[in-house]
Amino acid sequence: MRQYELVERVTNYDPDADEDMLNRAYIYAMKAHGTQTRASGEAYFNHPLEVAAILADMKLDTATIVAALLHDTVEDTEATHQEIVEKFGEEIASLVDGLTKIAKLDMVTKEATQAENLRKLLLAMSKDVRVLLVKLADRLHNMRTLNHVKPEKRARVAQETMDIYAPLAGRMGMQLIRDEMEDIAFKILNPDANKVIADRLARLHEESGDMLREIEVALTKELASHGINASVKGREKRAYSIWRKMERKHLALDQLSDIFAFRVLVESVDDCYLALGMVHQTWRAVPDKFKDYISNPKQNDYRSLHTIVIGPHSMRVEMQIRTKLMHEIAERGVAAHALYKDVGEAKMAQLGVRVPAAESNAYRWLRHLMEVLQEGDSPKEFLEHTRLELFHDQVFCFTPKGQLIALPRGATPIDFAYALHTSIGDSCVGVKINGRHAPLVTQLKNGDEVVIVRSDAQVPPPAWEAIAITGKAKAAIRRATRAAIRKQFAGLGREIIEALLKKQKHELVDKELTAAVPRLGHKNVDDALAAVGRGELSGLDVLKAMGLAVDEKEIRASRRKLTTKKGATDGRLSLPVRGAAANVALKIHAATGAVPGERIVGISTPGEGITIYPIFAQALEQFDQQPERWVDLAWGVAEEGMRFPARIKVILINEVGALGQVTQLIGEHGGNIDELQMQARHGVRDFFELTILLEVFDNRHLNDIMNGLKSRPLVSEVDRVAG
């Protein structure tokens, strides 16, 4: 495309466009990229030019078109941010800067880096959504030319597009871009399936002949006879759309009947419902296949009436009925909103848009993602939550006051509670669905009225994370769990420090502890105390950081001489555990053991009490579908000399004296062997496998023993038994 052609294309829809700036940007970018070439061998400048052309087709403003021309200059040429500011102004420089920061995403090989860059993209687009529009156009052109890159990179980029960019375009309502991205990616990622479906569609097209045109004409005439001015267009569904439906509903290709779809565009919202009534009077409607997205818009602002009818030749066909403005927004999403930013709310309502662009559902979703981002999740968790938000169909539920809450299909009352507010989710203890009490694991259905029962004493149990399916709910549960555990460990750490200071005949002074925190490598007192409670930081180290004289050898030696007292595994002795009722019997899972300093959970069994498991125990998987049995536990302060069971596995080289090395080291470290099993490794004569049930004081004591074993030359591996 030549320089004058781009300018002409923009001024055709925007007579007030800044032609001088468009011309200057064209020349600047062409000179900056100079002799650079792409993988295809063509001039690199063709790429930003094509990106600008895609955005011009969306009828976007001059600044966006200029940013598209310049989007790779700072990243790939000698151009600088300051130079862009001087030549094109702060607004365009800011757009280019936002695009530069997120220019390289690499999901497959560097997931954490990709997650962090996704944060940057969302932050940049939250400040100015035009950053996203340029980025999506950039990715679309890269997908169109993907056949020129190496196969391994081609597959990686296609998967990244399918996972992030296509659904992100869909979330912002830009369905045309999403469809094209998915079609190209599907051909690359699953060429066999794509060919089978494409061949099937070609055969159907031959068999149906002029049937699509026949239905278009018949429907247009019927609508006109009822005084409805409408445009009717038939189409075959896309290959990837068919494949996705086959996967979701577990159908064979021959079982799909609604491959043909018709789009009916009318003048007003009233005409939408009149057209629907006429269609249902003319052809028999398929039960339970009507969806009203005008009354209940999707989260990306999509509005339309959907129905499936038995049309001519007894074929099932899908009908989508919408206004022309609804169609613009369905195709181009937030880009379409820019066209109507100067239209009053009354006119928008008349045309079928009930909210201003600035308050659209797509922007609300973006603000929600910003809330998740700002609440401090790790990049990996943020990527997980974002992908959960990108992929889902919807179910619409209501509060007793009629507030509509859109949730992913399969959502539970826990997701509903967190959708209302984080504090409501954290305090949720029960639910009423349509006036009846129901389990929190119940999957919500369209039209359900949901009442959340709350209690200020409630803390969300970790098991809820497996029940919730929305990113917001999962993130909030994790934060609440971490906060509760941190609080418990900090309390335990304080008790440990106070006990050690008592032996030194010294009282805990918060000022002294605060002054010691920087020397311990922690941000604040609570972090340091929680580390002590978890066994990650020695209480003795805290005392030394406080400037107290401590004879470490004497304390540890006296500890080993203490009379051994086992932490009972049968519930007969009181275990130092918080979170369980006082009259409930406790026992430790025998296959793994559990020691203070490890994160633990309890599984309750009626009539038997609670079994304590370390969080890594594989046996916990069998209780995933029984969240009501999970009990959130934490260690308290153990009595002096109390020992706890921990089962470890040691891979030992089969040489004389090897077993003696193991038992000697355990004894030297003050551990006690309660049980030892030894067997030859199957098929490996030179190694033996020991399973040892140790008795130790806490997690730190256990780690000292395991690290000591790993240092012995005849020991190959040392691991906890996960059960």
Active-site residues, by number, are: 75-76
CA atoms of 178 and 300, how far apart (whole Å): 13
Tell me the CA distances in angstroms from 190 to 106, 141, 429, one per residue in order: 20, 20, 45
List the structure tokens of 355.
Answer: 């909210």
| 616 contact partners, CB below 8 Å, separation of at least 6 | 592, 720, 722
Residue 647's H or E segment, with its range, is strand 642-653
Long-range CB contacts (within 8 A, 24+) of 187-194:
188/146, 188/154, 188/155, 188/158, 189/155, 189/158, 189/159, 189/162, 190/243, 193/243, 194/239, 194/240, 194/243
Q: What is the separation of C-alpha 341 from the centre of its chain, rounded to a whole number of angstroms?
A: 32
Q: Cα dihedral sign for 37, 38, 40, 46?
A: negative
- The label of the residue with tokens 């349509």 reads 434
Spatial CB neighbours of 454, under 8 Å, sequence gap ≥ 6? 424, 427, 428, 429
Q: Is 723 exposed, middle or buried (0-12, 13-18, 19+ CB in 10 A)?
A: middle
| Cα 243 to Cα 487: distance, rounded to the nearest angstrom | 49
Helical (H) or strand (E) element with 478 = helix 471-503
Dihedral, CA atoms, 320, 325, 326, 331, nearest 10 degrees?
Answer: 90
The backbone torsions φ and ψ at residue 458, rounded to the nearest 5 degrees and listed phi first, read: -75, 140
- Is the separation of the CB atoms in 211 and 312 below 8 Å? yes
Residues 562 and 556: beta-carbon distance below 8 Å? no
Q: How many CB atoms lie within 10 A of CB 397?
A: 22
Measured torsion, CA atoms of residues 477, 482, 484, 490, in degrees rounded to the nearest 10 = -170
- Class of residue 452 by CB neighbours under 10 A (exposed 0-12, middle 13-18, buried 19+): buried
Q: In whole angstroms, what is the distance from residue 158 CA to residue 682 CA?
A: 44
Q: Decide if 292 contacts 349 (C-beta within 8 A).
A: no
Rg of the Cα trace of the chain? 33
In Å, what is the CA distance from 577 to each residue of 462, 574, 580, 640, 643?
17, 8, 7, 15, 14
Quote the CA–CA distance of 459 and 427 in Å, as a whole number: 6
Secondary structure (DSSP) of 313-333: GG-EEEEEEEEHHHHHHHHHT
Question: At residue 422, what are phi and psi to the nearest 5 degrees?
Answer: -60, -40
Looking at the DSSP assignment, which residues form a beta bridge with residue 397? Answer: 405
Tokens 């026949």 sit on residue = 214
Between strands 634-635 and 577-578, the pairing is: antiparallel
| Residue 225: Cβ within 10 Å count | 9
Q: Spell out the residues 6+ positions from residue 344 whose beta carbon is closer than 8 angstroms to its own.
A: none
- E strand intervals along 455-575: 565-566
Are the CB atoms for 223 and 215 separated by under 8 Å? no
Q: Would you report the helix, strand and coil content of the chain in percent, each value rounded to 5?
A: 50, 15, 30
